[in-house]
Each structure stands twice: as C-alpha cells, then as structure tokens.
Structure 1
Amino acid sequence: MPALPGFTDNPFQTRDDLVRASIALIKPLERYRSPQRAFIKLSTDTAAGFDEVAAQLEGFARPLWAIASLLAPGNSADGLDLDIDSWVCGLRAGTTPACSEYWGDLGNSDQRMVEMESISYALLMAPEAFLSGMDALSRENLETWLRQINARQIPRNNWRWFRVLVNLALGSQEEDIVAHDLNVLDSFDLGEGWSSDGLWGDERKQVDYYSGSFAIQFARMLYVRFMEDRGLASHDRNRVERYKQEARQFASAFWRYFDVDGSAIPFGRSLTYRFAFAAFWSAVALAGVQLDAPLDNIGVVKGLLFRHLRWWRKHPGIFNTDGTMNIGYAYPNMFLSENYNSPQSVYWCLKSFTIICLPKTHHFWTAKELRHPLAVQILPALQLLDEVKLLWPPRHIICNGRSHHFLLSAGQGTTKAHRAREAKYGKMAYSSFFGFSVPSGPLLEQLASDSTLTVSLDGGEQWIVRANPFDVRHRQIPIIASDGTAKIDEVTRSVPSLVSTWRPKKAIEFQVQTILIPASDLWSGWHFRIHRVKWSPAAIVPGIIKLVDAGFAASGSTKTGILVAEKELKRLLDQNSAGMEGWGKDEQSCLILSDCSASGVVDLQRELMSAPCSGYGKLATEKAALVVRADANTNLITQRTLVPAIQNTLVAETGLKTTAEVWLATGIFAVSKTSGIGMKEVQKLWFKRPTIHVAAKTEEEEGVRIMLP
C-alpha cells in the first residue's frame, strides 16, 4: 500500500505534527462528499448491518473529532487546508427535513445515535465555528434532530454516553433522563477504575478498549471537561470528582497495555478503530486530570500517545490507494470486521486527535516526551523491565517483559453476535507484537486458533475453540526450590495465575479447567498452561478427543519474502546457525524462527511431576507437535502465519459409567523482534524452562507449583 504523506512520514513530536497528520487523514475524504456536504461514501463498496444513510452519516460525523478540535477557541484556523464552511453546510443539510440529504428520523437503538456523539463534541468544543453560520431555523432543525434521542429506546451499554453528551451540548433540561443514563452507566463499574461495556453478567463479560479508550472512559473525560467549563452544581461536582479519581485508577493499569515501541496489545472488538487505542491519553489530558505515579509527569502521557501514533505510521497498509483508510488492522482485513463496520466507520480513530484542541502554549505541548515507565536502554533497543501484574477487573495478567509484551486472559466473553467473538475475547494470550488471529472457516487451518485451546469431540471432523470460560478466579503459584528429587526445600517466591473452566458443549460431559501461569523474570519468554481435562467416555462417541494447545502465530515468511520452510529442529537450535529462519519439531516441541522473532511450544507432560491420575478405566494419551499453516489474512498484523501447537489425542474406553481425567501441561515460548534479543540468546532461552509440579488435591484446590532447577 502507498504511504500517506503527512502521516506515514510524520515524526509525531509536536502539536503541528498532529495537526498535519489530522489534515492528511481528512483531505482524502473530500472527493467522496455529497453535493450538499452532509454525506461521505468511500469507494469501497462494502456494507454495514444498518442503513446506508446512517453509514454515510458516519463518514461526515467521525472526522469532526479532529475538525472541531482544530477549531477550538484559542486555536487559529488560518493556514488549515480544509474547507471549514463545508462542514457547517453539511451539518445544516443533514438536519433539515426538507433537504434531500436529510439524515433521517431516529428509530430505537439507531446508529444515528452513535454519530450524535461527535456532533455534540463539535458543538461543545467549537460552538462559534459551527453555529455562527446557521440562521435561527437551521439551529432549530439541528436541535430538533438531536433531541430525538431523548424519546427513543437506547441500549444499556456505552451508547448511554451519547445521550448524555447530546443533552450537555443542547444545554437540555432533561435532567431525569440524564440522571438515569448516568446511573445506568455507573452500574457498569467493576472497581479499580474499570468499567464493562454493559452490565457484567452471563451474557456480557466485556472489558476491552471499547470500555476504555473507545467509548466509556473517553466519554467520561469529555463529561469532566465540559461540565467544568460551564460550572458545576454541587450534585455534579461529586460525580466529576469521582470520574477523575476513577480515571487515575484506570490509567495506573492501562499504560501497561502499551509496549516501549508504542504498540498496544490488541484485544476485543472494533480493532479497526486502530489508534483510537490511545484516545484515553488525549481525553485525560484535555480534561486536565492529574494522574498518579508513574504518570504524574505529563511527559509520560505524551510519550504513550506519540509513540502509539509513531507505531501506526509504520503500517501504510492501513490506507487505500486513494489515501482513505480501510477496514482492517495492520492491513485490509474483512475477517476482522464487525457487522457494524461500514467503510466510513474507521474514522473513530480520530478520537485520539482531540488533544489538538489544546493551544500551543499548553504544558502538554511544551513538556518533554518521556519514556515508557518500564523502559530501559539495553542496546540495541529500548526494552521493558520484566514485570507481571494481575489486573482483576479485566481478568488479565499483563506480562511486561524484556523478551515479549503480552497478556494472559480468562473470564471474558459475550453471547452477542459479534464476528469472531471467540477469537477477540476467548484466547488465553494476546500479544502486542504477534497480534492474534480471527477465523476464516471451520477447519483447523481456517480457525487459525493461535493462543487458545481447540477441541474436537468427534476425532477431528469438527473443531470448537475456547470461549466464555466460567468459575474464574486468581491465585498465587509458588515457585519452589528442589534438590532434584522433587523434595520441596523452601518457597522462594510466587506468581499470580488465572484459573478458569470451559465446556465446549453444554449438553456433553466434557470440561477443561485451565491454569494460566506467567513465567516472571526467571524464564524470560515463557508462560505455562496446566489443563485438567475431565469427561464422561460414555457421552463421547467414537470416544476419541483431540485437543490442540497453540502458541503465538509467527510470521510465515522469511526476511527475503519466501515461505518459512521446515528444517531439522536440532539445526535451528544450533548456535552456529543463529541467523537461520525456519520451523522444526520433535516428539514434544515445535519452534518457529522468522522475522527476527521466535514462537514455540513444548509439551511439559513428560516433565510434569504429578500424582498419578485416578484409575478411571482404560485411558490412552497420544501427543504430537505440529505447525498449523493458518489461512492467509487471518492474523491482524501478519498476512501469512504459522502457529506452533501440541495436539493431545485422548482415547478412553467407551461404556464406562465413571469419569475420565487427565492432566496436560504446555509451555508457550515467544520472543518478539522488537525486544532486540539476538537469535543466539533466543536459543539459550528456549532451553531455560522449569519443571511443573502438580499434586491433585480437591475439586476446588489444585496443588500446582513451579520448581526451580
């Protein structure tokens, strides 16, 4: 894909840089605007699940995040290569019922409600710029169109913020509606500053960027900014101060999702909004919220925002040949998209550019950009200090490590019909470098089931991926010293873990309890998964279960662009061949070396020290390492990928009335290109792994320990 001048060549260091980038993103839209300027329809002729009028309204409304910020009081519109008057014309035409470009009346749960948020932001941030060119009738039409939202049913999720902001922009007296919506929104709180996107329950367990940067936390900061601008009543002051405190709490964890190179760990839905990942950093700065250490210096926040934008400038694949943005992540990808993504939807990314509402003299712009809080200079690159952090509200363990930046996840999921929902919420690990993969079909290669469990209960004809785990909890896993005879000398330290249970089918007696264990700084590049598999042999015919435990999806292409070929594993692990690219496997492990990175898996079952499984009849376990050549364009970041995995085939005698049980253990290894770690050290890290000790205790308590060599 071609570069976009003004964005892909942008240093992203100053306010002028962000202004130039915002104009570069908006200018290509001009050729697709309707005669009266109320619609934008890009040339990509794909559709969203809502009507086409609303889709083209998206095209008009979403650029307003940047345009209104450029026109904020104290900023000059002089020299901006934008036809500002045309946006006022579009606003006037779209809200005039007699006009051919009228945006239409609202229905219940209407997509038009979403686009009212950016329109309300424009009226709040730059009222003079948008209203001075309107006569009394046009203003009345605008108000009437916006006010429809108060008479319509609206989902109990982040959309409630759109109605709050509409009423704030109108100076509305609909206090009962606003108060009710705010109470509904506050009911989504999970503690520690986190919010779910809707009430947390069996149907919806979503704590992602949507409830962070994309919508809820972002909207809270707008509410703080504009409520303080107009003066606060006493009852409003308490809520504003609470939102500020919760923003501090949220920020104290949210920065951990960003790597030293600016990349964020992709997780959840709507990832085509791309650099909206960083919108919270813009919003918290424009709201003037003083954050806690290590973010108490505004230069740290500035660095988190700017580095993220600099990461995206390295990915010109996000642009079409005409300079508009496409649906996808690092390249065009419809497998990733949601049913509500029109070609114009992607411009929600401009929420991150709201920071340009701050004038040049603001201390955000004059402050020195500072490093990531965990960054240290280890030549040839900046690297993260090793740190493992449990974040319970999102059910994540963030692994900020010198080898790899990723998270472990258990407990999120949704029954809503989001495309690839199992991939977006149900995987066990998500990486800022390797990304994750979404399915293109039902076959194992098409499922591209990286970083997750995939099970077949019919011998391999049909596959089911992990989703919606339950009985989720966290616990500490001791790291113990051993004299080589499994004797425990002393407990030296511990690491947090996530424990959860998954049932592929409710009607079949088969379940997997999984313990996800980060490796901490002792075993750089690793994390571990312990699976306790229980099933009724009588319920599964023909009695053959296949369970695939997969690692991170690695690039399937070499530096020269050819496909990564199979090689003898011993050759790959030979330090004299440190520059070699390829993949290899043996009876218990598989390793892929490509694009200066590594991804591998090891079956730890042979090294697993455990109490013997109870005698539940005849039980056979077969194991094999394999490389899954995933369908092209299933991974978010890399078009061609290979997925290392361990396949366990479980065969139990049929007709038994008792339950069968087996313990499985997998080591997952990954070193990212951005870590700067050379292949010789990667080969050393591959062999540096612990022994896992399991002593089954009760149904509620697992005696799992990691043993130092």
Structure 2
Amino acid sequence: MPPLPGFSDNPLRTRADLIRAAIALVKPLNPYKSPGGARIKLATSTAAGFSETAAQLEGFSRPLWVVAYLLSLQSTEVDPFIQALLSDAALNLESWVQGLKEGTNPQSPEYWGDLAPFDQRMVETETIAIALLVHPSAFSFEHDPAARKNLVTWLRQINGHAMPANNWLFFRVLVNLALVLTLGVPLGEVKSYIDDALEVLDSFYLSEGWSSDGLWGAERKQADYYSGSFAMQFCALLFVKHAETLAGYGERVAKFKARAREFASEYWRYFAPAGAAIPFGRSLTYRYACGAFWSAAAYAGIDLPPPLDIGTVKGLLLRHLRWWAGHEGIFNTDGTHNIGYTYPNMYLAENYNSPQSPYWCLKALLILGLPSSSSFWTATELPHPLSPSAPQASPKLELAKIKLLPQPHQILVGAEEHHYLVSSGQCTAKRFKGREAKYGKFAYSSAFGFSVPAGPLLEQLAPDSTLAICFEGEEDEAGWKVRWAPEGVEFGEGTAEGTWIRSTWRPWKTSGVHVQTTLVVPGSKWGGWHVRVHRISLPPGAPAMRVVDGGFAIDAQTSRGSSIFETSVGASFPQAHGEQRMEGWWSDGLGSLVLSRGGASGVVDLTYSIDGGAAASDGKALIIRADPNTNLIASRTLIPAMQHSLAANDGEGNKVIWLVTGVFAVQAEATRHLERVWEMWGDRPKGRFEGGSVRFV
C-alpha cells in the first residue's frame, strides 16, 4: 500500500504536525460523501452485521473526532501555514455541518433513520455529541429552529430504547450532556437517564482504575483497550472535561479523575519505548485509538502520578502515532483506512466492522482540542519511563520491568529484549470472531503481535502463544481445541518462583480433561524467556491425545526480504562463530528456533531438565507454517512449537502429566548482535519442581 502524504511522512512532534496529520486523514473521504454530506461509503464493498445506513453513518460520524476541531480552527487559528491547510477546497469541512442537518431530518433522502433497541446508530451518537460540545456554533443550528428541533428529537431517541449493558451506556451519558449544555434541553428532563447509566457503569468497575466492558462474571471477563482508550476511561475523561461545571456532578467528576490517575499509573506499560502498543482483545482495527487515553488525559487536564508528567504523556502519545505512521499498509490506495492492523486483514475483523469503522482511530487526536498555549504543546517530549534516558521522576520511584497487574490478570514485561505480557483469566461468551485468540492466549507481544484463526486445521488455527489439544487421529478433522475460558486464577510475584499467574481450563466441557497452566516470568537473569508449566489431568477412559504448545509467531522473511519457509538451516544449533549471523530456522527435536527480520522466536522442552519433572509423553519440536495473513503484524509467519503425544488413560484413577515449555523471544531491535541472541538461547531457565511449581535457581 502507498504512504499517505501528510501522515506517513509526518514527524508528528508539534501541534502543527498533528493538525496536518488530521487533515491528511480526513481529506481522502471527500469523494465518498453523499450529495447532502450525511453519509460516507468507501470504495470497498465488505459489509458489517448491521444496516448499510448505519455503516454509512459511521463514515460520517467517526471523522468528527477531528473535523469539529478543524472547523473551529478555521475561525481562530493565527498560524498562516495552518490556515492555508484548512482552506483547501478538497477538505470541504463545511460538508459535515450540512451532513448533520440532512442526517437528522426525517424529510431528507439521507435521513439516518429512527433509532431502535441495540442499534449501531447509538454508538455513532458519541462523536456527534462531542462535536456539539466542542463547536456548538457550527453544529447546534442555533439560527435554524427546524434543523435544531430535528437534531434534538433524533438524539433524544437514545433514551427510549434498550442498549447493551457495556460501554454504550457512556454514549447515552454524553448525548444527554450535549443536549443540556449545547441544545438547551433542561437538565431535569434528562438527568435520570444520565444518573441511571452512570450507576450501571459503576457496577463494571473493578479497582485500581480498571473497568470491565460490562459486568465482570462468567459471561464476560474483559479488560482490554475498551477499559481505557476505546471507551470506559476515555468517555469518563470526556465527562470530566465537559461536565465539570454542571451542577450536582462535582463528586462524580472527582471520582473519574481519581480513577484515571490510578489507571494511568500502570497503563503506560502497554506501550513499548518505540511507541508500539501490545495488541490484545477485540476491535484492534481501531489501531492508534490504543493511545487515545493519553490524548484524553491531557485534554481533560488530569494531573497524573509519577512517572507521568505532561512531557511523558506527550511522548507516549506521539511515539505511538509515529509508530503507526511507519506502517503504510494501513491505507488503501486512495488514502482511506482499511480494515486490519498493520496491513489489510479481514481475518482480524469483527462482525461489526464496516469499511468506515476504522476511523475510531481518530480518538487519539482528541488532543487537537487544546489551544496552542496548553502545557501539552509547550512541554518537552520525554522518553518512555523504562528507557535508559528517562529522567528519574521521583527519588523514591523504582520502576520494575516485570509487573503483575491483578485486575486484567496479566504480567507486563518491559525488558529490553522483548516487550510483552502474559495473560490468564480473560474471556467472553459473546460470539466475537476469534475470541479465543483475542483473549485466551498465554502471551501477547508489541513486536510479534498475535495470530487469529483462518480455519480449523493446525496451520489455519495459527496457534501461537497458546495450547492446542485434540484426540489422536482427529488432527485433520477439525478436532483441535485451543485454550479458552480459564478459571481459578491465582498469581504471585517476588518469590523464588518468579512472577507467575495460574489458571485452569477444560478443552471439552464434558470429557473431564483439565489443563492447569502456570505462566512464569523468571526474571532478568533469563532475558527473553518465560516458562509454561502445564498440569494435564486425564480422567479414566480418556483416549490418546496430541498437545501443541506454540511460541510467538515470527515474520518468515529475512532482513534481505527472502523467504525462510522452505528448508531449515540445520538440525543442530550453531556453535561456530561464522554461523551465528545466519537467519533461518533450526530444530533438533527438543527445541526449535527462528531468526528473521522480526527478531528471534523459539521454544524448548524443559520437562526433563527441570529436577523432579516427569512426563508420559514423547515431546517433539516443530515449526508450524501458519496460513498467510493470520498474524496481525507480519503477513507470513512461522510458529516454533512443542508437540506431545499423551497416552490413553487405561487406569481407574485420574492420570496426571506434567509438561514444561521454555518460550524464547527477542524483538528485532534487540538482535543487532546475533552472538548475544545465541548466548541467551543457550542460557535457559533452570530450576526444580516443588509441589507443582518450578523454583528457579
């Protein structure tokens, strides 16, 4: 895909840079507008699971995250360079004002239609509400009573229909806020809708700033980017910004500010020093919306705790945007956004992703709502808190590179060798596509991403960072089950076992097979490694099974652009200095390793090397050639994995099998000296079994 001038070539360091980027992102939409401006339909013809009218409303509403601010700058901006950009006729900002008028007019052929229960149109009211709040003179139709009445009537429908008990409730709050503050609706008429929605949203709150996207329970255990940048924290900060002067909500505003501070204190760990976020959960086609929390925190004027002064926040947001500017594959040839992550990818897409959906990414540019005099724009951009060049924000502040976060049930690892997390305990019963991959894997990486399934066979499942299990002989009959719905989460840190998290799952609900996995990050002594300890319990009569434990999927191209698919470099791992600079893949039966332009990824069977370990299996290392386009970051990948054959349980009691896998990964930026990678690969975690745990020595 070609670069997008104004974004892909943008240094993204100053206010002017971000204004130029916003213009570059919305200008390609102009040819796809309906005559009245109320609908946008991009050239692609893929469909979402809701009406085409709602999909085209998405095309109109989502760019409003920046359009409202650009319109306001047309009359206030003094910088002649920016004024020249804003006056470009191809930008046609005024068409959005006319579009809002047409879309809410029941007599117009472009009317968006009445709202209904659980209607996608409810989601799109969020951005319309913010446009009303930030630029009322353009969007409130103060001097057109008929248009204003239509707008009020259309927006108030959100109060008359049932909606999902999740982040959508915040859209009801924001719409009513706009009705009161911009459109003259008395607070008393809508206050109960605001208060009732906020009460339900409070029930989603976990602690330490984290909220689930819906009530945490058996049906939903989700704490992903919806918890922060996509919705929950993001919308709460919009409320803080615009409701601070609204009578009766001072305590609520203070609560939201406190939660934002708590959330921010660890959320920065999801971002690598170079700006990449760890992809996890659903809706990742929203891309740089992962960084929208930082934009919202600055926009709302939240005073965040160390190490997060305004310069650090600025760096976290701008580096994230710069990382995305370096990925040209996110654009169609006409400059519009495509569905995917770093390249077009419909395997990733949710059933609610229309061609226009990705423009929620523009939430990250909320920062355009701050004037040029804001401390955000005048502050010096500071490096990532774990960067060696980061200033010490507090003499007493010690930032661990390995950090357990109890609420999302994850361990965040910010080591120089690899920026990733291990996860246990999240899932959802909602029928999201690829839900097992998006919530149930053992690990997620900012460098290697994760893979989503393209079909039921092993290479189509692309089982990176997960356990796949099937009955012997059913491998080619869609018999594979991958890790899902873990229960009984336990965790610990600062012990001889390292930092660890443990849970149990059942591949088949009725078979009685249980798999308990302890994920262990053993510490900085073994950089690049984490360990998985599996305790597999087979009930009497359980048939023979196959188990595959996958490592990180890695780019299958070399740094020179050639493929390393076809043949291995050799069965034995290099010893001679001359071989250590080679790229390719190796497998010796007990371990497999891939070196490519993506870095290094490998697995090794540690079951027999851990003192006291015993396994009734014949472990074999392999390399899985995953189907193309299954990984979010690299379109062609190889997955190093360990495969085990488990004998049938012909006895009377449960049969317990222990398996221990060492998982190795070093991101590309840390592989400049390949000799060091080989040293790390050879220096594997060592320990001993004690009561089902591994203690490292």
Band of TM-score, shorter chain: over 0.9
> Aligned equivalents of 1:460 and 1:674: distance in 2?
40
Q: 2:521 aligns with which of 511, 518, 521?
A: 518
> Aligned equivalents of 1:322 and 1:677: distance in 2?
36
Matched, 1:367 2:379: yes
Q: Deviations over 1:381-437 (max 9, x none)?
A: xxx997100001000100010100000000000010100000000000000000000
SS at match of 1:255: helix
- 2:588 is aligned to 586
The answer to which of 307-316 and 122-131 deviates more is 122-131
Q: 1:577 aligns with which of 576, 579, 601?
A: 579
Query: Gaps spanning 5+ residues in structure 2: where?
Result: 181-186, 391-397
> Aligned equivalents of 2:547 and 2:316: distance in 1?
39
- 2:296 is aligned to 283
Quote how far apart the aligned CAs of 1:75 are.
4.2
Q: 1:178 aligns with which of 184, 194, 217?
A: 194
Q: Deviations over 1:334-372 (max 9, x none)?
A: 000000000000000000011011111111101000000
Matched, 1:195 2:195: no
Aligned residues: 669
> Aligned equivalents of 1:332 and 1:577: distance in 2?
36
Q: 2:471 aligns with which of 430, 438, 457?
A: 457
Q: 1:206 aligns with which of 222, 226, 237?
A: 222
Q: Percent identity?
A: 53
Match for 1:187: what amino acid? S
- Residues 515 and 536, structure 2, Cα contact 8 Å, conserved in 1: yes
Matched, 1:631 2:627: yes
Quote how far apart the aligned CAs of 1:622 are.
1.2
Quote how far apart the aligned CAs of 1:557 are.
1.3
- 1:83 is aligned to 92
- 1:652 is aligned to 648
Shift in alpha-carbon separation, 1:361–1:253, aligned structure 2, 3 A: same
> Aligned equivalents of 1:375 and 1:225: distance in 2?
31
Shift in alpha-carbon separation, 1:526–1:64, aligned structure 2, 3 A: same
Q: Deviations over 1:54-88 (max 9, x none)?
A: 00000000000011122447843843133232111
Matches within 5 A, 1:306-317: 306-317=318-329
Q: Deviations over 1:110-139 (max 9, x none)?
A: 000000000000000111122357510000
> Aligned equivalents of 1:569 and 1:336: distance in 2?
34
- 2:47 is aligned to 47
The answer to which of 166-175 and 40-49 deviates more is 166-175
TM-score (norm 1): 0.92
Q: 1:600 aligns with which of 595, 599, 602?
A: 602
Matched, 1:440 2:430: no
Q: Deviations over 1:561-590 (max 9, x none)?
A: 222141114354543223211101112100
Larger fraction in strand: 1
Q: Deviations over 1:276-323 (max 9, x none)?
A: 00100010101000000000x201000000000000011000000011
> Aligned equivalents of 2:69 and 2:274: distance in 1?
27
Shift in alpha-carbon separation, 1:477–1:605, aligned structure 2, 3 A: farther
Q: 2:435 aligns with which of 398, 414, 421?
A: 421
Q: Deviations over 1:657-686 (max 9, x none)?
A: 211111110000000012354211000011
SS at match of 2:617: strand
Q: Deviations over 1:519-551 (max 9, x none)?
A: 32110000000011101141x3xx211111110
SS at match of 1:570: coil
SS at match of 1:606: coil
Quote how far apart the aligned CAs of 1:687 are.
1.1
SS at match of 2:372: coil
> Aligned equivalents of 2:607 and 2:613: distance in 1?
12
Shift in alpha-carbon separation, 1:93–1:232, aligned structure 2, 3 A: closer
Q: 1:220 aligns with which of 224, 236, 257?
A: 236
- 1:667 is aligned to 662
- 1:706 is aligned to 696
Q: 1:144 aligns with which of 153, 156, 159?
A: 153
- Residues 75 and 357, structure 1, Cα contact 8 Å, conserved in 2: no
TM-score (norm 2): 0.94
- 1:482 is aligned to none
Match for 1:451: what amino acid? S
Match for 1:472: what amino acid? V
Shift in alpha-carbon separation, 1:685–1:134, aligned structure 2, 3 A: farther
- 2:330 is aligned to 318
Q: 1:358 aligns with which of 350, 367, 370?
A: 370
Matched, 1:252 2:248: no
Query: Gaps spanning 5+ residues in structure 1: where?
Result: 379-383, 480-493, 614-619, 697-701
- 2:394 is aligned to none
Q: 2:507 aligns with which of 493, 504, 508?
A: 504
- Residues 512 and 538, structure 2, Cα contact 8 Å, conserved in 1: yes
Quote how far apart the aligned CAs of 1:477 are.
6.9
- 2:284 is aligned to 271
> Aligned equivalents of 2:29 and 2:609: distance in 1?
59
- Residues 452 and 551, structure 1, Cα contact 8 Å, conserved in 2: yes
> Aligned equivalents of 2:143 and 2:344: distance in 1?
39
- 1:328 is aligned to 340
> Aligned equivalents of 1:12 and 1:85: distance in 2?
26
- 1:30 is aligned to 30
Superposed CA RMSD:
1.7
Match for 2:663: what amino acid? I
Quote how far apart the aligned CAs of 1:377 are.
5.4
SS at match of 1:148: helix
- 1:100 is aligned to 109
Shift in alpha-carbon separation, 1:477–1:442, aligned structure 2, 3 A: farther
SS at match of 1:636: coil
Quote how far apart the aligned CAs of 1:606 are.
1.4
